[in-house]
């Protein structure tokens, strides 16, 4: 085994091992292990409420984890051109499926975001999220190299089409992530600050308009600003229970399996899994989780700064923006800092679509941040 990964070995696995960013890879694996640990703690009570076998979600989570990791590693073997081609292909297929979602999808909590494929529920917006970042980066970077190429227009068209289909579901959280991804990329591309300012104003106006157009979005804002609700399915009820869980957990937590929030909060295995972490494992594990996301973000930014390829810089910035926004939104909504958005915590929450999407994101990120042969990095 050691010979396979030897520096003297010129094989594909050895080259992969000595060029991959092992800080990012290690952080991913730590988060994956924490996610498996949390599945034992957070999902049995949910399965029991749904009249399922107690370890139903645990078994599915553990079964999907190696598939996601293998998928991530396979993608990480790709080079920059292969990543672009793969992402563009998936993006094209995803747009078609995103269009079909409101027509053939099924509704949960007032939104049609899921399509059923042979007994598996797939959230198409999760899959299309990372490949949009790559497609957009490719288009914009091509215009930077050749000013006659309409790259910004093509990337903006991809954004508009995606956002329109997301709003038909509606999925305000994912819409926000997509818009912010594109905004970060055009900022990275060096567009004038006036254009970026106008873009920011349009986002603000769009948010205000959405409050009056989408009842689901309006309800979440009202619950965030309003008084407590006795409805166990309401966001505010879950948030109040979540805050109580953090208070109960303290620094070291109550111990694995000793938490009570998962018995009362419907989404304790998904959107509110961070509260289970806080109650059972305390501030310590919460800090470790946040630290791992910071390592992934920091290492990716360091690598992108040292890159010569504008495509790699823009794609990396977009992917990191997506990962960090999703993690921040999940954690911040659990702590009642912002309204709930229905976003999972990457690597930690239960959810097949989220896990595959995160695996695709990290596979692309690992591919783009690989050390080039003969190069050295500062850190």
Residues 338-355 pLDDT 10s: 887 778 899 998 888 889
pLDDT of residue 66: 95
Global pTM value: 0.89
Residues 162-219 pLDDT 10s: 999 998 888 888 898 999 999 999 888 887 778 778 878 887 888 788 778 777 777 7
pLDDT of residue 6: 55
User: Which residues does residue 116 pair with via DSSP β-bridges, in sequence order?
Assistant: 121
Q: pLDDT at residue 23 above 60? A: yes
| Residue with token string 């520096």 | 7
Q: End-to-end alpha-carbon separation of the chain, Å?
A: 27
- Residue 378: pLDDT band (50, 70, 90) is very low
Residues 218-273 pLDDT 10s: 777 777 776 545 555 566 777 888 888 888 888 888 888 888 877 777 777 888 88
| Residue with token string 């051109």 | 81
**Ranges 73-87, 113-127, 167-181, 214-228: which has the least confidence:** 214-228
- Residue 379: pLDDT band (50, 70, 90) is very low
Q: What angle do CA 46, 350, 87 make, to 5 degrees?
A: 155
């Amino acid at each position: 085994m050691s010979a396979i990964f030897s520096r003297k070995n010129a094989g594909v696995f050895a080259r992969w091992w000595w060029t991959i960013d092992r800080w990012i890879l290690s952080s991913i694996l730590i988060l994956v292990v924490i996610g498996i640990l949390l599945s034992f703690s957070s999902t049995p009570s949910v399965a029991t409420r749904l009249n399922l076998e107690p370890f139903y979600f645990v078994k599915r989570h553990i079964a999907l984890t190696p598939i996601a990791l293998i998928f991530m590693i396979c993608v990480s073997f790709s080079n920059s051109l292969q990543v672009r081609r793969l992402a563009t292909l998936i993006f094209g297929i995803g747009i078609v499926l995103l269009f079909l979602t409101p027509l053939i999808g099924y509704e949960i909590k007032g939104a049609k975001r899921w399509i059923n494929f042979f007994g598996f529920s797939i959230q198409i917006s999760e899959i299309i999220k990372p490949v949009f970042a790559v497609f957009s980066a490719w288009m914009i970077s091509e215009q930077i190299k050749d000013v006659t190429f309409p790259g910004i227009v093509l990337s903006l068209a991809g954004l508009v089409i995606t956002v329109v289909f997301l709003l038909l579901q509606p999925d305000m959280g994912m819409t926000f992530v997509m818009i912010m991804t594109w905004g970060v990329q055009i900022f990275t591309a060096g567009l004038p600050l006036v254009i970026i300012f106008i873009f920011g104003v349009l986002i603000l106006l769009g948010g205000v308009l959405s409050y009056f157009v989408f009842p689901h979005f309006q309800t979440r804002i009202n619950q965030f600003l309003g008084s407590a609700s006795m409805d166990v399915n309401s966001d505010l009820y879950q948030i109040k229970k979540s805050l109580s869980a953090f208070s109960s957990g303290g620094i070291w937590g109550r111990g694995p399996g000793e938490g009570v929030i998962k018995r009362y909060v419907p989404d304790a295995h998904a959107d509110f899994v961070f509260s289970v972490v806080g109650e059972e494992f305390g501030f310590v594990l919460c800090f470790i989780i946040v630290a791992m996301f910071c390592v992934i973000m920091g290492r990716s930014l360091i690598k992108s700064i040292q890159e010569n390829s504008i495509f790699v810089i823009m794609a990396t910035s977009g992917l990191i923006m997506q990962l960090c926004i999703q993690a921040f939104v999940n954690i911040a909504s659990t702590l009642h800092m912002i309204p709930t958005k229905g976003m999972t915590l990457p690597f930690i929450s239960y959810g097949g679509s989220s896990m595959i999407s995160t695996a695709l994101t990290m596979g692309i990120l690992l591919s783009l941040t690989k050390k080039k042969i003969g190069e050295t990095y500062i850190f």
